[in-house]
């Protein structure tokens, strides 16, 4: 851009148009590159976070079993239940009850 500004006065109209077109192409390439880098960083962050969570959840499951805990709570951005014994899961029971209560409506 600086070169263009410095030389703009000595360029023909055609040269100016070509220079502006080149600048716009380079700007678009930069924006595409910036988006690709941002997307890659987000993917890598997600993969790393997932790996860490898998490791922590595995440890918590083993810890809970070893120490006889049925549930472990934690304050995280992914929820409050860090570990729960599957025997405590009442999801199916609740869904059946909800479906039954809405029959005939």
DSSP state of 103: T
**Measured distance CA(26)–CA(17) in Å, rounded:** 14
Instruction: Give pLDDT, residue 23.
Output: 92
Segments in the chain below pLDDT 70: none
Instruction: Give pLDDT, residue 16.
Output: 87
pLDDT in tens, 9-35: 888 899 989 989 999 999 999 999 999
Question: Are 20 and 28 contacting, i.e. CB atoms less than 8 angstroms apart?
Answer: no
Instruction: Give pLDDT, residue 82.
Output: 87
Instruction: Give pLDDT, residue 32.
Output: 98
Tokens of 90: 């009442």
Instruction: Give pLDDT, residue 67.
Output: 95
């Amino acid at each position: 851009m600086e070169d263009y500004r410095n030389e703009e006065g000595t360029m023909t109209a055609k040269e100016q148009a070509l220079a502006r077109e080149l600048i716009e192409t380079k700007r678009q390439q930069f924006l595409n590159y910036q988006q690709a880098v941002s997307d890659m960083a987000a993917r890598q962050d997600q993969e790393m976070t997932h790996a860490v969570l898998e490791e922590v959840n595995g440890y918590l499951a083993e810890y809970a079993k070893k120490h006889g805990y049925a549930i472990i709570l934690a304050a995280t951005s992914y929820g409050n239940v860090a570990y729960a014994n599957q025997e405590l899961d009442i999801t199916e029971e609740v869904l059946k009850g909800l479906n039954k209560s809405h029959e005939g409506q």
